[in-house]
Structure 1
Amino acid sequence: MAHITRGLATALLEFAEEAEPEPFSAGLGTTPAGEFEVALDCPPETPVFTHFYHPDAGGSVSAVFGMDFSTPAGRTHGRFVSHPQGELKVELTDDLHATMFVAVPPWGFDELAVFGRRGDRQPLDLIEAEPPMETL
């Protein structure tokens, strides 16, 4: 089962809708369930998807060097991709991760699904909690 905050899922669906008819893709980061201020209905070490790395951040540096410097190495535990004209499944053209969130129009929670690395659909748990504040 994959856990994602409702706030993050909402934001990703909004970005996908704004990007239409182009696809939208972003790396996703997690926070352990035990770090939330409220108790979640899962073990404390359970990763909860709480934030994303916007694909346009660091675009000019990436264009010069041909590498993505905007996403910290090893910090993305999943990926969100939208398929504006596709199906609710992992496509061969997707930038694959161990956990893949896929969305299709009309961009609601019913059109959001999560898949494993092999494309097998997994249960999705929308967490009704705000992630802890991060400091720099």
Structure 2
Amino acid sequence: MAYITRGLTTALLEFAEEAEPERFSAGLGTTPAGEFESDLAISPDTPVYTHFYHPDAGRSVNAVFGMDFSTPASRTEGRFVSHPQGELKVELTDDLHATMFVAVPPWGVERLAVFGRRGTRQPLEIVEAEPPVETL
């Protein structure tokens, strides 16, 4: 089972729609369920996808050094990809992660699915809670 917040789901689907006909891809980060203020009725150590790292962040630095400095190392437990002309499945051209969220048009939650490392579809639950506020 994969858990993702409603807010993150909405944001990712909006980015996918705006990027169409191009693909949109972003690394996803998690927050343990126990760190939420509200009780999610799942184990406190269960990861909940709560935020993403925008692919355009740090683009000029990446161009100079040839490395992605915009995404913290080991911080993207999953990846979201859109397939504007594709199918609701993991494709060989995707930047693969252990957990893959894939969306296709029309851009709604009914056209969003989650897959494991081998491309097997997994159950998905959208969490109706706000993640804790992070400070720098």
Which TM-score applies when normalising by structure 1? 0.99
3-state SS of paired residue (2:55)? coil
Q: Which residue of 1 aligns with 2:111?
A: 111
Q: Identity percentage over the alignment? A: 84
Distance 1:47 1:16 in 2: 23
Matched, 1:17 2:17: yes
Distance 1:123 1:53 in 2: 23
Aligned residue runs from structure 1 range 21-60, under 5 A: 21-60=21-60
Q: Which letter maps to 1:35? A: E
Deviations 1:13-46 (A, max 9, x none): 0000000000000000000000000000210000
Which TM-score applies when normalising by structure 2? 0.99
Distance 1:96 1:66 in 2: 20
Q: Which letter maps to 2:79? A: R
Distance 2:120 2:41 in 1: 24
Distance 1:69 1:107 in 2: 30
Q: Give aligned pairs, total.
A: 136
Q: Which letter maps to 2:58? A: G
Distance 1:97 1:77 in 2: 7
Deviations 1:70-126 (A, max 9, x none): 000000000000000000000000000000000000110000000000000000000
Distance 1:33 1:117 in 2: 22
Distance 1:40 1:83 in 2: 31
Distance 1:97 1:35 in 2: 24
- Structure 2: runs of 5+ lacking an equivalent: none
Where has structure 1 moved over 6 Å in runs of 4 or more? none
Q: Which residue of 2 aligns with 1:133?
A: 133
3-state SS of paired residue (1:110)? helix
Q: Which letter maps to 2:72? A: P
Q: Which letter maps to 1:44? A: P
Q: Which letter maps to 1:84? A: P
